Chains A and B, each alone.
Chain A
Amino acid sequence: MLNRRTLLATLTAGSLLATSGFALAQDKMYIPLISKGFQHQFWQAVKAGADKAAAEFGVEVTFEGPDTEAQVDKQMDMLAAALAKKPAAIGFAALDSQAATPLLKQAQEAGIPIIAFDSGVDSDIPATTVTTDNLAAAALAADKMAELIGGAGKVALVVHDQTSRTGIDRRDGFVNEVKAKYPNIEIVDIQYGAGDQLQSTEITKAILTAHPDIKGIFGANEGSAIGVLNAIKETGTKGVVVIGYDSGKLQKDAIRSGEMAGAITQNPVGIGYETVKAAIAAVKGEKLPAKIDSGFKWYDKTNIDDPEIAAVLYD
């Protein structure tokens, strides 16, 4: 008897917990978001954006993601459970697009629209992809660079790689903007450091040696930007304008102390918000563009503590 009672008590506790979560939301449009992670600040910011959209548009949203970005099979289990709930639409950021294809096809056959977000899904099944417009974001970095160096002089880029979408877009966005708008700025070098801090440090030192009169350097992701900063510190160079990308504690500290002029941050809150918004539009049968920009922001010493900026930065 005791056993059965223990069991029942546990189950009752479980059921109370369960009903509190789902009782409210029977008739609302239901949209699960299956993300690449859960605990990381970046993903919690995406979740906050999704929750905001859910409250605003009166839909039910759940947000799940595996503990690490290696757990592809756990993400599949989450996607399968989401499908079983017959959702109106699904938001999905694939850890491995290929592994997810059978389940995505299943969703397609059931007429459930898929909205890809963040790095998206490498497939033509998603109705749209909500992601940062890296071309436009890097163009903004170029504009800020031009403003800070007075519209003339030599600049260089330290990029993480020349094969990934983000690497290519951030490089081209910056270079094209300079070519189109700032004839007096000369891009003297573009180097690739795999986003590795040490490698990027060495690359930057070489650039500083080759071009002692350089005015500014753009680091195209967190690791690249930290590498640029390290090189400037190690060589004791003064007066070079450094612009970074994303956040992280080191970049934030460098911006506060003035070593870095500022950086571009993506908008994870916007990614969550726009994913839910696009899902609702897809359910209503509205036509969606192939890509939706979730937005990005420039931040520097003056606005780093603004609530709007602080919300999208992470350590």
Chain B
Amino acid sequence: MTATPIATAKPRLLASGAQQKLLAFASLIVLLLFFSLASPNFLQTANILAILQATSVNGVLAIAATLVIITGGIDLSVGTLMTFTAVIAGVVLTFWGLAMPVGILAAIAAGAACGFISGSLIARMKIPPFIATLGMMLILKGLSLVISGTKPIYFNDTPSFPQLSTGSLIGALVPALPVPNGVMILFILALIISWVLNRTTLGRYCFALGSNEEAVRLSGVNADGWKVAIYALAGGICGIAGLLIASRLNSAQPALGQGYELDAIAAVVIGGTSLAGGRGSILGTIIGALIMSVLLNGLRILSVAQEWQTVVTGVIIIAAVYADMLRRRRAG
């Protein structure tokens, strides 16, 4: 009996998810068409690559945020956790002079460890996710400044490090397609996490925790354990974002990161993932992140004043969520 809500929840989720994805995807196409018609400078290879490059970090953070939001939680620490893992990579590669793979592993492990702590605070100590991750956000922000000595850590001793994000493996094979590695990492990660969400036990419990945590608990599943695992996975993904931003800037900038969690959450919500939990998709989130960077880039290309760029972004977020609500009201 108790397993029923979990079992029936899934097919409905997929159906509504598909509709929302379609809507978000249509919005993205309309935006692309509009900006292409409005300015000849928009639809240029260099500019499209710039948009994708700008999406890569926010996209990866948004994937992490999607996992947590589907469980019905929230993670405010994704931005500063990203910075923290970048600083850890800086410590390992520049201060200690170790090899690049060690730095990469350290960053991802540090992210997962912090996610594990957040998850434990929430699942075991029952601190509300908003408060627990708000605390983590500040702790990690402070620690990044302490560890780095409030100065950027440069990766000049690891010359191949910038290639991680800005180089292009595909471009080396197919010169006509110089897609930066950072963008490929985003897309590959999206495919993997999408598979995890839809095809694995972890993914199933992720949705189940968001739609009916009590039912999961009553059916004898270790709900707390799975929740901690999901936060740790999200933390590890933030570690990948930290590597991407550090690689792109060839430096770990310790003061950066606060505010980035809101961009990530906005991308998740535009992509149709419900803040109430239990519903969402990685594809939607990627489209949401693309909508945000296409919008910002397009407004810049059209020389819209910076104040107005912010206003328009806010309008689009509200419009996207409202459209989603209207559709659900009619469907339900």
Stretch among B94-102, B128-136, B213-221, B242-250 lining the A interface:
B242-250
Contact of A6 with B303 in the complex, beta carbons under 8 Å: no
Q: Which DSSP category, helix, strand, loop or mixed, fits chain A's interface?
A: helix
Report the minimal beta-carbon distance from A241 to chain B, rounded to whole angstroms: 35
Distance from A192 Cβ to chain B, minimum over Cβ atoms (Å) = 18
Q: Please, which residue of chain B has its CB at the minimum distance from the CB of A85? A: B41
Please state if A17 and B53 are interface contacts (CB–CB under 8 Å): no
A127 contact set on B, CB distance < 8 A? none
Contact present for A84 and B256 (CB under 8 Å): no
Q: Does B178 contact A (CB under 8 A)?
A: no
A21 and B303 in contact (CB under 8 A), knowing A6-B319, A6-B326, A98-B154?
yes
Would B54 and A80 count as touching, CB distance under 8 A?
yes
Across the interface, do B249 and A76 meet the contact criterion of CB distance under 8 Å? yes
The reply to whether the CB of A237 lies closer than 8 angstroms to some CB of chain B is no
Closest to B307 in A: A38
A83 within 8 A of B: yes
In angstroms, Cα B245 to Cα A15, docked, is: 32
User: How far is it, in angstroms, between the C-alpha of A83 and the C-alpha of B41 when the chains are bound?
Assistant: 10
Question: Are A10 and B316 within 8 A (Cβ)?
Answer: yes
- Asked whether, in the complex, the Cβ of A7 is within 8 Å of the Cβ of B301, the reply is no
Q: Which residues of A contact B249 (CB under 8 A)?
A: 72-73, 76, 96, 99
For the complex formed, measure the closest distance between the CB of B327 and the CB atoms of chain A, giving whole angstroms: 6
Closest Cβ of chain A: how far from B113's Cβ, in Å? 24
Residues of A within 8 Å of B327, CB to CB, are 3
Tell me if B312 and A7 are in contact (CB < 8 A): no
User: Which chain B residues in 151-174 approach chain A with CB under 8 Å?
Assistant: 152, 154, 166
CA distance A85 to B41 in the complex (A): 6
In the bound complex, do residue A60 and residue B53 qualify as a contact, i.e. CB atoms below 8 Å apart? no
B300 at the interface (CB under 8 A from A): yes
A7 touching B30 in the complex, CB below 8 Å, given contacts A77-B50, A77-B297: yes
Give the complex CA separation of A70 and B54 in angstroms. Answer: 16
Query: In the assembly, what is the distance between CA of A71 and CA of B259, in Å?
Result: 10
Q: B248–A81 contact, CB under 8 A? A: no
Which A residues are in CB contact (< 8 Å) with B255? 68-70
Residue A180 lies at the interface, judged by CB distance under 8 Å to chain B: no
Instruction: Count A-B pairs with CB separation below 8 Å.
Output: 123
- Interface residues in A207-246 by Cβ distance below 8 A to B read none
- Residue pair A2, B326 in contact (C-beta under 8 Å): yes
**Pairwise interchain contact A84-B251, C-beta atoms closer than 8 A:** no
Closest to A14 in B: B312
Docked Cα-Cα span, A73 to B50, in Å, equals 12
Identity of the chain B residue whose Cβ is nearest the Cβ of A100 in the assembled complex:
B249
The chain B residue sitting closest to A69, CB to CB, is B255
A17 and chain B: residue at smallest CB distance:
B308
- Whether A82 lies near B300 (C-beta < 8 A) is yes
8 Å CB contacts to B: which residues of A15-62? 15, 17-19, 21-22, 25, 30, 38, 60, 62
Q: Are A81 and B306 in contact (CB under 8 A)?
A: no
- Beta-carbon contact of B41 and A86 below 8 Å: yes
Q: Give the chain B neighbours of A72 by CB distance below 8 A.
A: 249, 251, 253, 256
**Within 8 Å of chain B (Cβ to Cβ): is A64?**
yes
- Our pick among A2, A62, A68 for the contact of B303 (Cβ within 8 Å) is A62
The CA of A168 and the CA of B296, in the complex, are separated in Å by 40
Asked if A78 CB lies within 8 Å of chain B CBs, one says yes
**In the bound complex, how far is the Cα of B319 from the Cα of A6, in angstroms?**
7
CB distance from A46 to the nearest CB of B (A): 13
Could you pull out 20 A-B pairs where Cβ atoms are within 8 angstroms?
A3-B326, A6-B323, A7-B26, A15-B34, A17-B304, A18-B38, A21-B302, A21-B305, A22-B304, A25-B303, A64-B306, A67-B259, A68-B259, A76-B249, A81-B47, A82-B300, A83-B50, A84-B297, A85-B41, A85-B301
> A-B pairs with the 8 shortest C-beta distances?
A70-B255, A84-B47, A80-B50, A81-B300, A99-B249, A18-B302, A70-B256, A77-B54
Given contacts A7-B27, A76-B249, A84-B47, 5 further A-B contacts (CB under 8 A): A10-B316, A14-B315, A15-B38, A81-B50, A99-B248
Chain A residues within 8 Å of B, Cβ to Cβ: 2-4, 6-7, 10-11, 13-15, 17-19, 21-22, 25, 30, 38, 60, 62-65, 67-73, 76-78, 80-86, 96, 98-99, 102
